[in-house]
Structure 1
Amino acid sequence: MGYRRLDKHILKAIFHRWIESQSISRIHREEGFDRKTIRSYIELFEAKGLRPGLQMPDEDLDCVLQELLPKNTRGRNKRELLAPYREELLRLVNPDASSGDPESPAERPAEVVRPKTAYLILVEKYRLEVSYETFKLYAREIGLTAQSKRAPTRLESPPGQETQIDYGTVGTLVDHHNGKARRVYAFAAKLSCSRLPFIQFTYTQNKESWMESNIAMVEFYGGVTECLLIDNLKSGVLKPDLWDPQINRGYAEFAEHYRTFIDTARVGKATDKAKIERLIPQARELFRRLKAIHPTWSLDELNRQALLWCRQEYGRAVHGTTGIAPMSLFEEQEQSLLKSLPPVRFEVPRYKPVKVHPDRFFTFEHKRYAMPENCRGQSFIARESGGILRVFDASYRLIRSYPVTEQRVCWLPGDFPKSREALMQGAYPRYLLSRARTLGPAAERLIDGI
């Protein structure tokens, strides 16, 4: 039977049944309280001098029964510690409910966080000694409790089998390089077996940033799983398809370098990667929590703290599904099954589509490169990595390569007539003199005089 709170009206009903000489069993059936509880109150009635058949005014009876009621109300000392921060809690979790002036810069709400994150902010910011259970009681009183949501379907994987990866927007941060507020994204990954996460905050989601974060991820884990399950974002997938997705060429090279495979989730099917979907809101709350506590930190400082959170706070807490801390499960079962990293770190390539102009040059990173005569007007794919620029056709057949130097105009010997090469090199006068010498001394003197 569930717990029932005993109030004055119920106790009065038990008293009246007792003075009417009803048995304890009948009172139990009618009022629904345990026989031991009823017997203990009858003993209290008798200790107060009450007995069956006794007549008492209602006012006196109420006073006696009030004294007999259990004093089981909880103390509020700890919850009172949170009362001075009520408005700050409302601004953090529910700015619309705050009584402050929303136009005032001091009262302007920060980015909204969840109640548990607000609790962590207050505890760390003001050094409060308040348990999370006490905070939850106070949160219910002022209406901070968030509504529960249905959890996504979980698909379990063996150790070393799969890593789920995704991006999520987490907020804004002032870039220390230009002083402007920029949008911040979280590159998030999670091992499907141990649930050990990896989080890196970035300003962009371009291909280079995507691959740099993937490299940082495998170095954080100290190995790589059999496959990487990703969303159909443009940085990783050029053309989504259920059976034959077209993977970004640079990302495909990354997978080949680390001997792993790329698997893509179905378009619009978040449950295919439910584990990482759950991590995105947690990464967002972590970013806003760190930003609230350390508002002057740079992105690099936030990332260092995020890795500590992955290893210690999240990694050492017991996971609700597995019943084991992610870091412990990783160290005991999954770490040894990851593929080892190659001795050479993958260098992120830069790909760019280029078109050869009528003068037989194309432009890449503000420099001009020459192509053979039969390439005028055609489109190619330029790839720069390791100080080498390579040019491929549509079927990735190598056409030409150049070393990347400070020279802004590059060509190979024999690409152009000698007269044009001399003109491009600024040595056209010397070229004319050399041609005049072949015609005789008079021609040489004429050209030299010019």
Structure 2
Amino acid sequence: MRFASKLPQRAIAKSLGLSQGAVSGYLSRARAASLVWPLSEDLDDAQLEALLFPLPPAIVSDQRPMPDWAWVHRELRRPDVTLALLWEEYRAGAPDGFGYSWYCDLYRAWAGRLKPTMRQTHIAGEKLFVDFAGRTGEVVDGRTGEIIPVQIFVAVLGASSFTYAEAVWNQKLPDWIAAHVRAFAYFGGTARQTVSDNLKAGITKACFYEPTVNRTYADLARHYGTAIVPARPYKPRDKAKVEVGVQVVGRWILARLRHRRFFALAELNAAIRALLDEVNNRPMRGWGMSRRALFEALDQPALVSLPPFPYEYAEWKRCRVNLDYHVEVAKHYYSVPHQLIRQEVEARITTTTVEIFHRGKRVASHRRSLRPHRPTTVAEHMPSSHRRYRDWTHERIRREAEAVGPDVAVLVEVILRSRPHPEQGFRSCIGILRLVKRYGAERVDAACARALVLGTRSYSSVAAILKNRREHTPAATAEPPLLIHENIRGPGYYH
């Protein structure tokens, strides 16, 4: 464009989307390489690049030994190790060796010839990359012969490429979390960051700038002391390490198992584990060391120690506290402090416990119950007016009602059975029993009989009958029949 079209550098830069300085630099390199336009037809792109960007000449001399660049590359993966430090150590052993700038240029030229995934320098213990493989495994149902596809979970440590793989039934949250727990146990620790693809199981909202991590996944990370870092959408280099790990698992494990049939997931995972150990123990091309040797030298000492207990899978649910200061979780009702009535809370649900959080603070913890439509109530959560009734039970109310009279016992049982939760009828029943102190057992039993005839089921009805002395009113005269007369207008008259 400069020589054929005579365009100025600014126009060239705007056309190619480069800075003017970059264009000027390319033209300077062309002049330094004595290139003339038009270029020779025998000059290909690789040769042109070599002329424009020549490698620094390697000086072969006893006083200027060439550093072991593979060793330098490995050392850079250790925490806080820099090229400046390695150069100082190099010069300490070779005082007449390369200067710092030349040393850096030679290293970068060597690193530039590595595979793209190897050029990334990962600090030991810093990152663990996780993903599902695109290829699936197979398990055969022994009863029906149906072939069930299973997913392959892969985890790769950044510095050593030490790899873990296992088969799970699906990519849903429970299997995703369980696979992480087993991977952490396999490594014997966790990296400071866990880099995940934007799977629905782990990332509820994929966003280039502010992705949202699933609450359970974040809970797992907090338990193990790692940070979930979602890979940026459409940035494959963010997860290049695990992509290579997926290829390795596919070629060296799944391909070798393609002719075998497995009738249980555990059987398949045992076969995967045997081949996985071979993969981690095999020397890597270009490194001269195995993944396991690199792991033991780099990642293993730098990993975060495992907590005393493995993570227990938990799901989260948003709830609103009902007027009875209980929240519903899996059709069971758990109490919270009564001051939180109508407030929004979060329930953390495991197989054994239910914890309730309000604005990030735990306000209640219950042993999980599988009894549907029943409450679990802590006395301290009740308002003071309700605590008076906490010692009452269904059996105690029935027993005291029978002691007052048979009709009291029947009405109490009717009231308790009419409520969704029998405890909701406790206050009515206790109120009826306490009427005995004021009116006597005989009158209260007669009032309950009267309430049963009228079909009423409340303390207020029984109290009204006693107050008005209606407990002995005959049922036949209590409700006079409606008059039947031909002159009485029916409802159809008004339409």
The bucket for the TM-score relative to the shorter chain is 0.5 to 0.7
Q: 1:186 to 1:387 in 2, by over 3 A?
A: same
The CA deviation at 1:323 is 2.9
Q: Does 1:328 align with 2:325?
A: no
The CA deviation at 1:202 is 1.0
Name which of 366, 385, 388 aligns with 1:402: 366
Secondary structure of the corresponding residue to residue 371 of structure 2: coil
The CA deviation at 1:200 is 1.4
Q: 1:175 to 1:375 in 2, by over 3 A?
A: farther
Q: Does 1:367 align with 2:366?
A: no
The CA deviation at 1:176 is 4.4
Q: Distance in 1 between matches of 2:237 and 2:211?
A: 19
Secondary structure of the corresponding residue to residue 293 of structure 1: coil
Name which of 152, 174, 185 aligns with 1:208: 174
Q: Which has the higher contact order (CA 8 A, sep 6+)?
A: 1
Q: 1:286 to 1:355 in 2, by over 3 A?
A: farther
Conserved? CA contact 1:195–1:326, under 8 Å? yes
Question: After superposition, where does 1:403-422 map in structure 2 within 5 Å?
Answer: 403-408=367-372, 409-412=374-377, 413=379, 414=382
Secondary structure of the corresponding residue to residue 189 of structure 1: strand
The CA deviation at 1:329 is 1.9
Q: Does 1:338 align with 2:335?
A: no
Secondary structure of the corresponding residue to residue 178 of structure 2: helix
The CA deviation at 1:265 is 1.7
Q: 1:238 to 1:302 in 2, by over 3 A?
A: same
Q: 1:269 to 1:178 in 2, by over 3 A?
A: farther
Which residue identity does 2:441 align to in structure 1?
Answer: P
For 1:437, the equivalent position in structure 2 comes to 436
Q: Does 1:261 align with 2:227?
A: yes
Q: Distance in 2 between matches of 1:349 and 1:237?
A: 16
1:95-140 deviation per Cα after TM superposition (whole angstroms, max 9, x unaligned): xxxxxxxxxxxxxxxxxxxxxxxxxxxxxxxxxxxxxxxxxxxxxx
For 2:14, the equivalent position in structure 1 comes to none
The CA deviation at 1:239 is 3.1
1:391-418 deviation per Cα after TM superposition (whole angstroms, max 9, x unaligned): 234x434454432124322143547976
For 1:238, the equivalent position in structure 2 comes to 204
Q: Distance in 2 between matches of 1:170 and 1:361?
A: 46
User: Which protein shows a greater Rg?
Assistant: 2
Secondary structure of the corresponding residue to residue 200 of structure 1: strand
Which residue identity does 2:170 align to in structure 1?
Answer: T
Q: 1:332 to 1:183 in 2, by over 3 A?
A: same
1:29-56 deviation per Cα after TM superposition (whole angstroms, max 9, x unaligned): xxxxxxxxxxxxxxxxxxxxxxxxxxxx
Which residue identity does 1:193 align to in structure 2?
Answer: A
For 2:241, the equivalent position in structure 1 comes to 275
Which residue identity does 2:369 align to in structure 1?
Answer: T
For 1:384, the equivalent position in structure 2 comes to 349
Conserved? CA contact 1:173–1:183, under 8 Å? yes
Secondary structure of the corresponding residue to residue 170 of structure 1: coil
Conserved? CA contact 1:202–1:299, under 8 Å? yes
Q: 1:243 to 1:321 in 2, by over 3 A?
A: farther
Conserved? CA contact 2:140–2:263, under 8 Å? no
Name which of 349, 352, 368 aligns with 2:314: 349
The CA deviation at 1:164 is 1.1
Question: After superposition, where does 1:43-54 map in structure 2 within 5 Å?
Answer: none
Q: Distance in 2 between matches of 1:176 and 1:196?
A: 33
Q: 1:299 to 1:226 in 2, by over 3 A?
A: same
Q: 1:205 to 1:355 in 2, by over 3 A?
A: farther
Q: 1:448 to 1:213 in 2, by over 3 A?
A: same
5+ unaligned residues in a row in structure 2: which ranges?
1-113, 390-411, 453-495
The CA deviation at 1:269 is 0.9
Q: 1:343 to 1:184 in 2, by over 3 A?
A: same
For 1:295, the equivalent position in structure 2 comes to 261
Name which of 192, 195, 209 aligns with 2:158: 192
Conserved? CA contact 2:253–2:276, under 8 Å? no
For 1:112, the equivalent position in structure 2 comes to none
Secondary structure of the corresponding residue to residue 327 of structure 1: helix
TM-score normalised by L of structure 1:
0.56
The CA deviation at 1:219 is 0.7
Question: After superposition, where does 1:23-172 map in structure 2 within 5 Å?
Answer: 152-154=116-118, 155-171=120-136
